[in-house]
Amino acid sequence: MHGPVPAAQRIAEFLARHEDKELLRFITCGSVDDGKSTLIGRLLFDSQKILEDQLAAVRNDSARWGTTGDATDLALLVDGLQAEREQGITIDVAYRFFDTERRKFIIADTPGHEQYTRNMATGASTADLAIILVDAERGVQVQTRRHGHIVALMGIRHAIVAVNKMDLVGYDRARFDSIRATCEELLRALGVPDVRCVPVSALRGDNVVHRSATMAWYTGAALLEILDTIDVRPTHELEDLRLPVQYVNRPDASFRGYSGTIVAGRTRRGDAVMALPSRRTSRVRSIGTYDGELEEAQAGQAVTVTLEDEIDISRGDVLVHSDRSPSVGDRFDAHLIWMADAPLLPGKQYEFKLGPRYVNGTVELIHHRIDVNDRSEHAARELKLNEIALCRVVLNEQVAFDAYDTCRSTGGFVVVDRLQHGTVGAGMIRRAASHAMAERAGNLFWQPTRVSREQRANQKGQQPCILWLTGLSGAGKSTVANALEQMLHLRGQHSYLLDGDNVRHGLNKDLDFTDAGRVENIRRIGEVAKLFVDAGLIVVTAFISPFRSDRELVRKLVNEGEFVEIHVSTPIEVCEQRDPKGLYAKARTGSIKNFTGVSSPYEAPENPELNLDTSQLSVQESVARIISYLEATGRLKN
């Protein structure tokens, strides 16, 4: 027998759900009149109503609140900025809040088009996701491109394109499809991996909170449904500990705690840790909070750790696990956004704030300025308000840092004017730079290391080269490559096999299978192969590598004769019949997209060094052909 649940209990359950919500921060980007305010008003208004409806369900008495007209309330929710606009008050980033059953949302709303870059970068810096508005009538504009570029630059990996004012184009599917295709291509090319498009009418509420019958052809989710369910956890989240020390807590001589928020990874009691930049090591004795000690703490938690040893650690140091540490150095290349009226002057001393640490330093040179509208690169001597450039930063002290794309908290910094104290710039670290690099843009030389590549090769008694196997999926590349490496090993050669497994799961796990992803995949493999050749190894690679231009690019990376292109030219009918992983079948039904040979082209080599058709040759025969080619051309001793 079960009677009605008591009201107090229902409310308790309701509260428990609300306490356990997740937080999602997003930014809205749109040009004036795209309907951004209307859309935000719609989200705030309709979601508020949902909350109330839920609450009504747990209450008996629903007559307590009246209903007001939709239109008035929508206006009320957004009129703050309008009023400010009239008063001539600077509007940069306004933060707005709303809740659903599952999540709390913080919107960074950046209105206005002056100062756009600066404001949008500010709003985007804490956002996990961007909503980019496109007016269905006007279509994709230069501004859309600009928004996409800033979104990508600031490391936002999820974009929802809201194609607004669908009512004005008669809810036309073709119009939406064409805008969607353009936006998807544009954003992916800019480096935003997750792009979704929703046709909406902010004014009428179609597909904003609820799916709309006006666009039955649209089978995707409404905007709020996406916001509510999208998984924004980073796919390649940094798992290594980063705990920047903010504050040294010393109530008395017996306790010395290091307080900070873990920005990446996790730590357990007993962990061996190292403080950077000093490299002093110790073990975690305790992880304290006001609510008690923790056995383990993870990214996002604010803790106070104590260590086993009395080592000298101060504010700004970073605690890490010693085997997985970030870069430590005094120079790096970074994208810099300039935010002050007075231009950035290379050579001038500024303060740089990285995490809790302030360090003096300079921008030593500007590699190039980037036009946000089309991403073109330009030479520059200084950087003006709202301009973006790739710069070399040189600090007066060593600091610990990561690339921004690896970890925002240890890879982002602001620039502070030393006299006026204003925040004049913001930067995203792209890579560490070494002293040895030549200091002119586009003219970087490797420092001649003491041991030469010839010496390394001589020591191994071999001629390093890349044996590049290319061909369709199922052509037999991996099988041949494996057998080949075994043979090389038996013959006492020093080799390394690069194939999909050890590359796609590690080095390139952030890449997808779009054309852009494939190009970058091959470029990186080429660079790694080149380093291995430098190290004196015979490198065997087994990748489909469908594009001629990519293979040519790798060929150019190494010296003449060091790139051996081997076309595993098994006919597609045979490959498809073998279909060892069932991929062709899936590609034919369309469940795998961009599949080489089916829905994506394969450009066969024109003049490969070798041609192997595994429908005609056994594995051993293929290997024998390669070995005899290498012997004949003097690359291997027989």
Partner 1 sequence: MSPAAVATRSRLTQLDELEAESIYIMREVAAEFENPVMLYSIGKDSSVMLRLALKAFAPSKPPFPLLHVDTTWKFREMIEFRDRTAKELGLELRVHSNQDGLVQGVTPFTHGSSKYTDIMKTEALRQALSKYRFDAAFGGARRDEEKSRAKERVFSFRDAQHRWDPKNQRPELWRLYNSRIHRGESIRVFPLSNWTELDVWLYIHRERIPVVPLYFAKPRPVVERDGLLIMVDDERLPLKPGEKPRNETVRFRTLGCYPLTGAVQSTATTVPEIIEEMLACRTSERQGRAIDFDQAASMEKKKREGYF
Ligand X SMILES: Nc1nc2c(ncn2[C@@H]2O[C@H](COP(=O)(O)OP(=O)(O)O)[C@@H](O)[C@H]2O)c(=O)[nH]1
* Residues lying near ligand X in the complex (CB under 6 A): 30, 32-38, 164-165, 167-168, 201-203
Ordered DSSP codes for 526-586: HHHHHHHHHTTPEEEEE-----HHHHHHHHHHS-TT-EEEEEE---HHHHHHH-TTSHHHH
Report the residue number, 1 or 8, with the smaller CB distance to partner 1.
8
Residues 109-138 that bind partner 1 (CB under 8 A): 118-119, 121-122, 125-126
Name residue 298's beta-bridge partners: 266
Query: Which tokens in the block code for residue 360?
Result: 């003096």
Q: Which is nearer to partner 1, 194 or 351 (CB)?
A: 351
The pair of three-digit structure tokens given for residue 444, joined into one six-digit string: 């970087």
Place of tokens 């009226």: 341
Examine residue 342 and tell whether it contacts partner 1 (CB under 8 A): no
Q: Which of 35, 199, 260, 277 binds partner 1 (CB under 8 A)?
A: 260
In the list partner 1, ligand X, none, the entry touching 165 (Cβ below 5 to 8 angstroms by class) is ligand X
Bridge partners of 529, per DSSP, are none
**Angstrom distance (rounded) from CA 20 to CA 24:** 13
Q: Is 90 exposed, middle or buried (CB count within 10 Å of its CB: 0-12, 13-18, 19+)?
A: exposed
Among 255, 447, 616, 634, the residue binding partner 1 under the rule CB under 8 A is 255
Q: Residue with the closest Cβ to ligand X? A: 35
In 31-111, which residue ranges form alpha helices assigned H by DSSP? 36-58, 70-87
Q: Does 71 bind partner 1 (CB under 8 A)?
A: no
Please state, in angstroms and rounded to a whole number, the distance separating the CA atoms of residues 509 and 70: 47
Compare residues 33 and 293 and give the one whose CB is closer to ligand X. Answer: 33
Tell me 217's DSSP state.
Answer: T
Cα–Cα distance, 232 to 130 (Å, whole number): 11
Polymer length in residues for the chain: 638
One of 6, 60, 65, 253 touching partner 1 (CB under 8 A): 65
User: Shortest distance, CB of residue 136 to partner 1, whole angstroms?
Assistant: 28
Q: Which residue has the tokens 């107090």?
A: 8
Q: Which of 103, 375, 430, 625 binds partner 1 (CB under 8 A)?
A: 103
Which C-beta is closer to ligand X: that of 82 or that of 628?
Answer: 82
Neighbour-count burial of 606, counting CB atoms closer than 10 A to its CB (0-12 exposed, 13-18 middle, 19+ buried): exposed
Q: Which does 217 bind (CB under 5 to 8 A by kind): ligand X, partner 1, none?
A: none
198 binds, among partner 1, ligand X, none (CB under 5 to 8 A by kind): none
- Report if residue 422 touches partner 1, rule: CB under 8 A: yes
Task: Please tell me whether residue 315 binds partner 1 under the rule CB under 8 A.
Answer: yes
Q: How far is the CB of 201 from ligand X (least distance, A)?
A: 4
Contacts of 178 (CB under 8 A, 6+ apart): 139
Query: Which of residues 29, 40, 74, 93 is near partner 1 by CB under 8 A?
Result: 93
- Minimum Å distance from CB 107 to ligand X? 13
Question: What's the CA gap between 207 and 401, in Å, rounded?
Answer: 43
| Maximum CA extent, the chain | 94
Active-site annotation holder among 282, 478, 545, 569: 545
Q: Does 304 bind partner 1 (CB under 8 A)?
A: yes
- Which C-beta is closer to ligand X: that of 162 or that of 525? 162
Query: DSSP state, 198?
Result: E
For residue 450, the partner it binds in partner 1, ligand X, none, with Cβ less than 5 to 8 A by kind, is: none
Beta bridge mates, 414: 353, 426
Using the contact rule CB under 8 A, the part of the chain among 194-202, 216-224, 285-293, 568-576 near partner 1 is 285-293
Using rule CB under 8 A, residue 97 touches partner 1: yes
Per partner kind, with CB cut-offs from 5 to 8 A, the member of partner 1, ligand X, none near residue 86 is: none
Q: Which of 409, 470, 493, 622 is close enough to bind partner 1 by CB under 8 A?
A: 409
Closest distance of CB 39 from ligand X, Å: 7
Q: How far apart are CA 410 and CA 341, in angstroms?
A: 27
d(CA 380, CA 296): 48
Within 10 angstroms of residue 591's Cβ, the number of other Cβ atoms is 10
Q: Alpha-carbon torsion 242, 231, 503, 442, what sign? A: negative
Exactly one of 1, 19, 448, 638 binds partner 1 (CB under 8 A); that residue is 19
Stretch that binds partner 1, among 11-19, 488-496, 586-594, 615-623 (CB under 8 A): 11-19
The DSSP code for 278 is: T
**Could you say which of ligand X, partner 1, none residue 164 binds, taking C-beta under 5 to 8 angstroms by partner kind?**
ligand X
Cβ of 498: how many Cβ atoms within 10 Å? 21
The reply on whether position 288 binds partner 1 by CB under 8 A is yes
End-to-end alpha-carbon separation of the chain, Å?
Answer: 88
Q: Is 47 assigned a catalytic role? A: no
User: According to CB under 8 A, which one of 178, 182, 278, 301 is a site residue for partner 1?
Assistant: 301
* 388-401 and 423-432 strand pairing: unpaired
Q: Check residue 421 for interaction with partner 1 (CB under 8 A).
A: yes
Cα radius of gyration rounded to whole Å, the chain: 29
Residues in region 20-59 near partner 1 by CB under 8 A: 20-23, 48, 51-52, 55, 59
Q: Which does 301 bind (CB under 5 to 8 A by kind): partner 1, ligand X, none?
A: partner 1
CB of 170 to ligand X, least distance (A): 11
- Name the residues annotated as catalytic: 545
